[in-house]
Structure 1
Amino acid sequence: MYDDEMGLADIADELAVTTTTQDERGVATVDDTDVNLDARLREYAAELPCTPEAAATVLERHSAGDSVGDAAEAAVVAPVTAAKVLHRAGVEGVTPLAPTARRVLRDWLDGRLSRADALELTGADDAEFALAAYVETHDPIPELADATRRDAARSLGGDALVQKREELADTMSASTDLF
């Protein structure tokens, strides 16, 4: 087919370019931006560690990329309160303790250790210990996590990719369909 003496120009002469049309396909989005976060949080006011308005500020600022401390400052609440809001809204990674320290904390909560021993074994300060105790004794509220989810592209808790895949499942083909 090609001999060793062919150059790039010779190869290019044998190439043919064809044009075809493609269907324009946009990016599918799941959007819930018309939801009033303050109104939705008011339903859970009794389960929040601060006012729904402050919680909304914490959640919005944190989802925009602010640190817990900056979100707390914007909401005029203590950073530990902001961390509690994030935990109740299903944001993972709020606890300041490693898994082994959390087991020690659970032993204290179950009455198997004194608080002084648990503090020493965890290496946590009082504020870290109090936040970790709150996280261990207050589960995230799934309905609150759903209420604070503004859109699938900017999830406040959970995995937006998984949610989007589930919502668009009927429009997607399986990988086995490719073979």
Structure 2
Amino acid sequence: MGLSDIAAGIEVVDEQRDGGVATVDRTDDPLADRLTPFAEELPCSPAEAATLVDAYAAGKRVGAAARVAGIPPTDGAKALHLFGEHVSPVGPMGREIVADWLAGELPRTEAVELAGVSDQEFALAAFVETHDPIDGAMAAVEGALSVDDVDKREALGETMDGPGEMDF
């Protein structure tokens, strides 16, 4: 196959076509109602999770958002992880250490020490490594956690904790 075969059917135009923006807007339903189908998989109630997401999206750190929702910070971090947010208190090396501990290759005390985190942070890292985000729940909170026209990491930069900085 030559370049002429690959380029067959391609046309050059002077203007771009405006295809519009495809959207699915389910924001008429309260967030708590959209989270209700996932209640058994969440570490808190759908109403608490909705309050957590609202506070987090408003710029509060994980622990502060959890306190607004009336839940422990670890439960808040777990819920946000299940919604697809990056909340692991460890980096790539810490993830390997947690994986080694989960595989039974390291005792917990040694793994915690090597990861350089507290017992509570290590427990959260283990949760993150053993639980995948929930697809349907991610879709339910997508509008609440998305930022229009601004890079999400830049807009929520102050809310993202680094290793050893979880606001418990």
What is the TM-score when the length of structure 2 is the normalising length? 0.70
Aligned runs of 1:81-160 on 2, under 5 Å?
A: 81-92=75-86, 94-150=87-143, 154=147
Counterpart for residue 52 of structure 2: 58
In 1, distance between residues paired with 2:121 and 2:144? Answer: 31
What is the TM-score when the length of structure 1 is the normalising length? 0.66
In 2, distance between residues paired with 1:153 and 1:100? Answer: 29
The yes-or-no answer on 1:73 pairing with 2:67 is yes
* Residues 58 and 74 in structure 1, CA contact (< 8 A), matched pair in contact too: yes
How high is the sequence identity, in percent, across the aligned residues? 44
Q: Which structure ranks higher in relative contact order (CA pairs < 8 Å, sequence separation ≥ 6)?
A: 2
In 2, distance between residues paired with 1:39 and 1:151? Answer: 13
Shift of 1:152: 8.6
Structure 2: 5+ residue stretches without partners: 1-17, 153-168
Shift of 1:138: 0.6
- Name the amino acid aligned to 2:84: G
* Residues 54 and 144 in structure 2, CA contact (< 8 A), matched pair in contact too: no
Closer, same or farther in 2 for the Cα pair 1:85/1:29, shift >3 Å? same
Question: Which has the higher mean CA deviation after the structures are superposed, 30-39 or 53-62?
Answer: 30-39
